Structure 1
Amino acid sequence: MNAKPFDLGITVGRFQTLHTGHVYMIEKAIAVCGRIGIFVGSSQESGTFKNPYTYEQRERFLREVFGNKVEIYPLPDIGVGNNSTWGDYVLENVRKRFGKSPDLLVSGKEERRVSWFDSVEGVSVAELYVPKIIDMSASRMREFFISDRFDEWKEYTPKALWDDYEEMKAAVLAAKDNLYTDSI
């Protein structure tokens, strides 16, 4: 029997540099959900300044931090932005992977995301908004690589990823001048 209030929670993010704010949000999801699905957005894109890492790298980084406490899946962009069409697409992917709709959407952004699902009849998804505990963004984390500020990067990075610094930095440096992006 699951003693947690929600069976299935999901979170959606690019994690284009995973930092302690992401980790805090996912840990809160793990605390209240029997299962957690992490859907890695813009999974089709890599090698750009906005999305330097491949889906496989991001999946591995998440796995290094969370082990088997979460399930991780790719979620390619479909070019529609944050709206109910995107919500339909997210739900379709969740149902394909889990055979059901999520009970909880866990988000770290200030804007409401549960409105993604407003147009879907018969679906009720609760939302857990996890406020920021640090003033950090993945963009700023990428800047730490560009200016080789290891100590600052380390301050906002889960210890499980510290050995990946050189690999992560190399990907960011290789992509820093490629400003093209398909992701929204």
Structure 2
Amino acid sequence: MIHSYICMALPVRGPGILRKRKNRSRRFAPKKIRAEFSYTSWLMRSHIMNNHAKRAWDIYLKMETSAESFNVLQLMANDCYKVCAFYYAAKAFDVLERLDNAPEYIEGKKGACIGVFQQVFANQEPVDSLFDVVKMLESSVQQHASEPQVSQQFESILKVMKEWLKESKLKRK
């Protein structure tokens, strides 16, 4: 059943078609279908791949805590990283790291945070994003205080970012 709703939303030609069909899919898909993991993950992925990672993040925020929300968060973290939406990848990896200290979440978070720094430096991301990332990194330093190697890696990244912010005289808006 869900297959027909997803197929109805797939692009036939041109980027504008996907947006129209995605809206049509939301409008006609019954609530039961919209609540399914496959529909939610497809919708989030389509937002991310169309440079609307914030919309995908908003969908995640509305979800109840469950195994499905954890899986959606993993999907979001990895897909955002793939399309260089590093700010939302960092936010997703931050939540994943707090829920599960798995090395892939720690590494993903470090990489995404460095990606945000690079994008802010290149004026592709607002400075406020970097201030949010600094808070995430400070949280990780505290969280991994009992793991000196991991904590030190986060501290090193944090030090570079804070020094650049200070030298650039950038302030939170």
Shorter-chain TM band: under 0.3
Higher RCO (CA-CA < 8 Å; seq separation 6+): 1
Q: Which has the higher strand share?
A: 1
Structure having the higher Rg: 2
* TM-score normalised by L of structure 1: 0.25
